[in-house]
Amino acid sequence: MASLGDDLLVTVNKLQDLVFNTIGNDSLDLPQIVVVGSQSSGKSSVLENIVGRDFLPRGSGIVTRRPLILQLINIPSERDDLPDNNECPSVTSPPISKNRRAI
């Protein structure tokens, strides 16, 4: 049974997709989190703690080199690092470590 938070996340993601695919931009005001801080102040760590997974690059100096927009989708399965291929059979996702290098 999905928790209220899981249901809300699915609903918010569907709304974002619907608005973007219909209007062509994200003009729907939905809950958002903005993390701002100086270099190496823990911004990426805050996001990872909210998500509950390590997926952002770590190291000394400038590591996260661009602004990020994260859309969280809960996929309760053993392979939760991959998209639901029933919905998008042609889409595959690289392991989180490859995403980390791309960021």
Could you tell me the pTM of the whole model?
0.47
CA–CA separation, 93 and 75 (whole Å):
13
Q: What's the mean pLDDT when you consider all of the chain?
A: 70
Cβ(9)–Cβ(74) below 8 Å: yes
Query: What is the spatial distance between Cα 85 and Cα 38, in angstroms, rounded to a whole number?
Result: 38
- Residue 97: pLDDT band with limits 50, 70, 90: low
The answer to whether 32 and 72 have CB atoms below 8 angstroms apart is no
Going from N- to C-terminal start, the domains of the chain cover 1-31, 33-102
Residue 48 host element (H or E): helix 43-51
* Contact present, 12 and 74 (Cβ < 8 Å): no
Percent of the chain at pLDDT exceeding 90: 0
